[in-house]
Amino acid sequence: MKIHRYVTTSRAEGPGNRFVIWTQGCPIHCPGCFNRALQDEDGGTSIDEASMIRLLDEAICSQETSDPLTGLTLLGGEPFFQAAPLARVAAFAQEKGLNVITFTGYTYEYLQGPEAPRDAHALLQVTDVLIDGPFKEDESSLERPLVGSANQRFLFLTNRLSMQDFQPNQYEIKIEKDGSIRINGMGHMNQLMRLVKE
């Protein structure tokens, strides 16, 4: 599969402590997409699902006693663009007791219909919360956690999480061993610029 990056621990991409995978490649091309670098299906890094599952398993084991992982978040890019391998990663996460949040620029109805991407059903089956719908510039809003426009929906496909579990938007800034700075999370751009300047 093609990914942009992953983090082994995050508190800014859904409830609790989460392993997060940003997939690479998105055919939806929403005007105003805030992750345009993740649209190119030829970009990113290739990793086979066995390696990704091993990384997830290592993260689960290493954080077991300190700050246990509670979930896996799949975002993009478009996770349903490569649904089959991600479904196997998500199934492993659920076997280990993690909940799974999957973002998509498609609607739930489209993913269940005849034109759905291949193996969409497999990924839906191992998704606890589906956050669906394309980003729409004319409905742009950061009032709700993790989504950029008012049309996007939180669909609770199982009872493992509810809306009350989601915290307000926040940023996470990590300084890597090589000195590079990584930022993830969600919020107003002016807040982020203030943080970076500080």
Tell me the C-alpha distance between 64 and 60, whole Å: 6
Asked if 170 is part of the footprint of ligand SF4 (rule: CB under 6 A), the reply reads no
30 vs 52, beta carbon nearer ligand SF4: 30
Asked if 142 is part of the footprint of ligand SF4 (rule: CB under 6 A), the reply reads no
Asked if 76 is part of the footprint of ligand SF4 (rule: CB under 6 A), the reply reads yes
35 vs 170, beta carbon nearer ligand SF4: 35
Asked if 33 is part of the footprint of ligand SF4 (rule: CB under 6 A), the reply reads yes
CA geometry: angle at 39 spanning 136 and 77, to 5°? 75
Tell me the C-alpha distance between 22 and 43, whole Å: 12
Tell me the C-alpha distance between 16 and 33, whole Å: 26
Asked if 132 is part of the footprint of ligand SF4 (rule: CB under 6 A), the reply reads no
Asked if 25 is part of the footprint of ligand SF4 (rule: CB under 6 A), the reply reads no
Tell me the C-alpha distance between 170 and 13, whole Å: 9
Asked if 80 is part of the footprint of ligand SF4 (rule: CB under 6 A), the reply reads no
Written as six digits, the tokens of 114 are 């005849």
Q: Where do contacts with ligand SF4 occur on this chain (CB under 6 A)?
A: 26, 28-30, 33, 35, 38-39, 76-78, 105, 134-135
